[in-house]
Amino acid sequence: MKRWALVLVVVAVACGSATAPLGAPLTIDQLKFKVIDSVGTPAFCDPDYYPLARAGGEQASAIAQYPQIRADTELYSAIVQHEHLLGGELDDAQKLTLYRAFKKLRALTLTPSGSGYSFSYTVATTFEMTTGTVRTDGLVSVTSTTPGGRPNCPICLAASTLIATPLGPLVVTSLAPGMLVWTESAAGARIAVLVLDVGSTQVPPGHLMVHLRLADGRELWASPGHRTADGRQLGALATGDVVDGARVTLWELVPYDGGRTYDLLPAGPTGTYWADGILLASTLSRRS
């Protein structure tokens, strides 16, 4: 009889559900961290760069937002625990860590679904649209992953920017789909490809642009959120950093009164182009 009882137990385990038993419920913000840690950070338009580059950067925003974040006890507790911040009053560096985590949480929406929540968002590192669910105890399940695109943020070029083309440098405002521009191949070679898309974004008065100067004399004016060819935001660069093979000798935020900023999407595997001689990544998504 004992042997048959053991067999029945084994069969029951083998045929039963493999789902782990439901654990203690977590708060919404704790669940969001579970999703972010499992799937990745949501791609979003950072409010410290779009639509305006804020003088003083993230640190000033972090200090200003700190009282509001701390007043939300549940939110504050979730961030402090996840980011391993010490209790008590935070210093400015810790407030910045708190604020960055807060922005990630704000960019993720969880929708009640069954016994848990569903999510669907573009992951910042891969720009893939990921859909799934998270149980109330934090167990994350991904149901689908499909190609996505960068969020449509005003992270573009000054109107006077010159783009490298086989016909010579052309101002970005003169480009149109079907024209040829230079891009970088997957092997690092300069190749001529068609422009697939062009776009522009209206910016309000007071918009700040990064003025970048390299040691070899190249200069660029672009929004702080625009990225270099290797994925770094221009707003995150500093003097001494290397960009497109040369060191940054000047980095400053300057007012821009051009009304609109511009960008283009070249064909080819990298989505890069030369703006005022500096290799940058396009901010435009490929459209089906």
What are the tens digits of pLDDT across the range 155-171?
Answer: 689 999 999 999 999 99
pLDDT at 4 over 70: no
Question: What pairing do the DSSP bridges indicate for beta strands 246-255 and 242-243?
Answer: antiparallel
Through-space distance between the first and last CA atoms of the chain, rounded to whole angstroms: 65
Give CATH 2.170.16.10 domain extents, the chain.
162-281
- Which residues, 6+ apart, have CB-to-CB distance to 90 below 8 Å? 66, 98
Cβ atoms of 263 and 156 closer than 8 Å: yes
Give CA–CA dist 160/158, Å, rounded.
5
Q: Per-residue b/e over 159-196, b at no fewer than 16 CB within 10 Å?
A: bebbbbbeeeebebbebeeebbbbbbeeeeeeeebebb
Q: What CATH number belongs to 162-281?
A: 2.170.16.10
Give CA–CA dist 142/150, Å, rounded.
20
Among residues 213, 181, 178, which one has the least CA distance to residue 197?
178
Angle 85-88-91 from CA coordinates, rounded to 5°: 65
Give CA–CA dist 224/57, Å, rounded.
10
Question: What pairing do the DSSP bridges indicate for beta strands 162-163 and 140-147?
Answer: unpaired
Cβ atoms of 148 and 129 closer than 8 Å: yes
pLDDT at 201 over 80: no
pLDDT at 53 over 70: no
Could you tell me the pTM of the whole model?
0.55
106-161 tens-digit pLDDT: 999 999 998 899 999 999 888 899 999 999 999 999 999 998 776 656 568 999 99
> What sign for the dihedral angle of Cα 237, 239, 241, 244?
positive
Q: Per-residue b/e over 231-244, b at no fewer than 16 CB within 10 Å?
A: eebbbbbeeeeebb
pLDDT at residue 60, as a whole number:
87
232 or 8: which leads in pLDDT = 232
Q: Which helix (H) or strand (E) holds 129?
A: strand 128-135
pLDDT at residue 1, as a whole number:
44
Q: Strand order in 260-266's β-sheet?
A: 180-184, 190-202, 260-266
Half-sphere exposure of 74 (CA within 13 A, CB side): 8
* Region at 230 (left for phi over 0; alpha for psi -120 to 50; beta for the rest): alpha
